[in-house]
């Protein structure tokens, strides 16, 4: 099958992108893994992206300083910072008209604490597919920052794959480790987030909105299992996994 996305790992120091795992890197409980298919499906939807280098940020409410694995000091983040040693490598490899335009690794925004982080990647998707960038599903990250979500039309746009965060905690280091994903990238069809697709919505209120077919489905889904004292938990998970297996045949 033709890959829907191609990641070009420009900064090669870290872990390559990899498929997100249904058990959220083994952090989900055994009960969730066995019975909670919605959580499992969301956890495994997309690909993990890892920091290209271990680094730390510290925010004082106005400015940001940063350091990275192997650095000897903390450095003020004045507008932007390059990945260590990358600018010279970029200029040596780039065509003449692109030299001097190496993407910054970190860049500050206009608001205090606003920050843009380069994943070290450039991504290209098949026509009509975009990438949704978000925090890794069901993996806890530091409460010291808020991660913004964004959709990039990567079938048309060939630029560095950045994402944005807002630093919250002040006076304490916020760590990003190379073995821990800091981003989950998910494929979305462009048609599916257009206004023409999303604006039409039906809302039917009250119990009278439930049709005989709705009641039959409710009875099968909720009533019958709860009337059976010997029922096996996780029926939804079993049915969903059987359907998925049948679709692969």
Residues 20 and 45 in one domain: yes
pLDDT digits (tens, 9 = 90+) for 115-146: 999 999 999 999 999 999 999 999 988 999 99
Residues 135 and 244 in one domain: no
Residues 186 and 77 in one domain: yes
Residues 136 and 31 in one domain: yes
For 181, other C-beta atoms within 10 Å of its C-beta total 24
Residues 146 and 235 in one domain: no
pLDDT digits (tens, 9 = 90+) for 74-97: 999 999 999 999 999 999 999 999
Determine the structural domain holding residue 102 and report its residue range: 5-197
Confidence of residue 243 (pLDDT cuts 50, 70, 90): low
Query: If residue 212 lies in a helix (H) or strand (E), which one and from where to where?
Result: helix 212-218
Residues 122 and 57 in one domain: yes
DSSP letters along 84-145, please? TTHHHHHHHHS-GGGTT-PPPSEEE-SSTTEEEEEEEEEEEE-TTEEEEEESPTT----TTE
Q: What's the whole-model pTM score?
A: 0.89
Residues 214 and 109 in one domain: no
Average pLDDT score over the chain: 92
CA-nearest of 231, 248, 186 to 35 is 231
Q: Give the CATH number for residue 158.
A: 2.70.40.10
- Please give the tally of structural domains in the chain: 2
Residues 192 and 210 in one domain: no
Average pLDDT over residues 198-221: 95
Residues 81 and 184 in one domain: yes
C-alpha count within 13 angstroms, C-beta hemisphere, residue 24: 22
d(CA 140, CA 201): 33
Residues 156 and 214 in one domain: no
Residues 115 and 22 in one domain: yes
Residues 155 and 233 in one domain: no
Q: Which DSSP symbol is given to 208?
A: G
Place of tokens 């023409």: 196
């Amino acid at each position: 099958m033709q890959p829907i996305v191609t990641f070009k790992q420009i900064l090669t120091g870290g872990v390559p992108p990899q498929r997100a795992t249904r058990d959220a890197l083994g952090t989900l409980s055994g009960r969730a893994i066995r019975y909670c298919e919605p959580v499992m499906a969301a956890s495994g939807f997309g690909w993990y992206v890892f920091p290209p280098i271990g680094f730390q940020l510290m925010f004082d409410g106005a400015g940001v300083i940063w350091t990275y694995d192997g650095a000897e000091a903390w450095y003020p983040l004045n507008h932007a910072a390059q990945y260590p040693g990358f600018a010279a490598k970029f200029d040596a490899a780039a065509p003449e008209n692109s030299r001097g335009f190496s993407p910054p690794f970190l860049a500050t925004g206009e608001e205090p604490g606003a920050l843009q982080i380069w994943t070290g990647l450039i991504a290209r998707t098949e026509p009509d597919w975009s990438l949704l960038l978000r925090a890794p599903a069901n993996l806890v990250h530091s409460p010291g920052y808020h991660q913004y979500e964004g959709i990039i039309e990567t079938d048309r746009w060939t630029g560095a794959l950045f994402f944005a965060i807002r630093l919250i905690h002040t006076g304490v280091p916020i760590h990003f480790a190379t073995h821990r994903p800091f981003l989950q990238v998910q494929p979305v069809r462009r048609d599916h987030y257009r206004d023409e697709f999303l604006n039409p919505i039906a809302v039917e209120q009250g119990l009278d909105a439930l049709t005989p077919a709705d009641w039959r489905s409710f009875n099968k889904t909720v009533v019958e299992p709860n009337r059976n004292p010997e029922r096996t938990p996780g029926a939804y998970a079993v049915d969903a996994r059987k359907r998925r297996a049948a679709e692969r045949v």
